[in-house]
Amino acid sequence: MFTGQRSQGVGMKLTTASVVLLIASVALTPGAARAATRGTPSEAKVMLDKAVDHLKSAGRKVAITDFNASKAPFRDRDLYVLCVDSKHSIVANGGYPSYVGTSVDAFVDEKGVPLGKALWDAARKNANGFIVYLHLNPVTRRIEEKTTFYSKVADGLLCGVGAYSAR
């Protein structure tokens, strides 16, 4: 117990203020650690902008290879680039590279709507936007709400980056 007195083996006095700071820092650490494992919606948008710029400057083949490498700047914690063609085939997925070549429609939202259909329906209305759905977070390994920001980068290709909700 902290008494403000010198404790055996401790070479300093613990004041009430230092005890309060110590307790506060310990209490806040788990939340801070959780926050450090999650990307934010604004970080997702920035990553998407970088991905779109990279596609334009490096070309589709190089960019897709870079996105699938699952390395910075196209992978950060639980943020990663996903690209889907107009046939709903996954061509890049930095979070789950093994999904490349599969149909994104294998993933459905809580209402049974396939993810590829949701993305392309939204992209037909707006070339840039977002959709919200439930998905497995590659860091926490839990099903969580995810907001994916997307951009139709070319005819037949859209890319997105999503942020998982901490709720």
Q: Is 130 a residue whose pLDDT tops 90?
A: yes
Which residues pair with residue 154 across a beta bridge?
157
Q: Which helix (H) or strand (E) holds 51?
A: helix 41-58
Q: Which helix (H) or strand (E) holds 5?
A: none
Task: Convert the pLDDT of each residue in 74-112 to its tens digit.
Answer: 999 999 999 999 999 999 999 999 999 999 999 887 778
Q: Which helix (H) or strand (E) holds 65?
A: helix 60-68
Q: Is 44 a residue whose pLDDT tops 80?
A: yes
Question: What pLDDT is stored for residue 84 in this prediction?
Answer: 97
Assign residue 4 a region (left: φ > 0; alpha: ψ between -120 and 50; beta: otherwise): left
